[in-house]
Amino acid sequence: MSNTGSKREGSTLNIGALREGVVLDHIRAGYAMTIYKYLKLDKLECTVAIIKNAQSNKMGRKDIIKIEAPVETLDLDVLGFVDHNITVNVIKNNEIVEKRALKLPKQVVNIIRCKNPRCITSVESALDQVFVLADEEKEIYRCRYCEEMYHPKIRK
Q: Residue numbers of the site for Zn ion (CB under 5 A)? A: 114, 116, 119, 143, 145-146, 148
Q: CB-wise, 38 or 145, nearer to Zn ion?
A: 145
Q: In angstroms, give the least distance from the CB of 117 to Zn ion.
A: 10
How far apart are alpha carbons 114 and 130 in whole angstroms?
A: 9
Q: In angstroms, give the least distance from the CB of 137 to Zn ion.
A: 22
Q: CB-wise, 28 or 142, nearer to Zn ion?
A: 142
How far apart are alpha carbons 33 and 52 in whole angstroms?
A: 10
Q: CB-wise, 97 or 120, nearer to Zn ion?
A: 120
Q: Which residues of 93-117 are buried (b: 16+ CB within 10 A; e: fewer)?
A: eeeeeeeeebebbeebeebbebeee
Task: Describe the strand order of the beta sheet including 107-109 as a list of residue ranges.
Answer: 107-109, 130-135, 140-143, 149-150
Q: In angstroms, give the least distance from the CB of 81 to Zn ion.
A: 17
Q: In angstroms, give the least distance from the CB of 118 to Zn ion.
A: 8
Q: CB-wise, 31 or 145, nearer to Zn ion?
A: 145
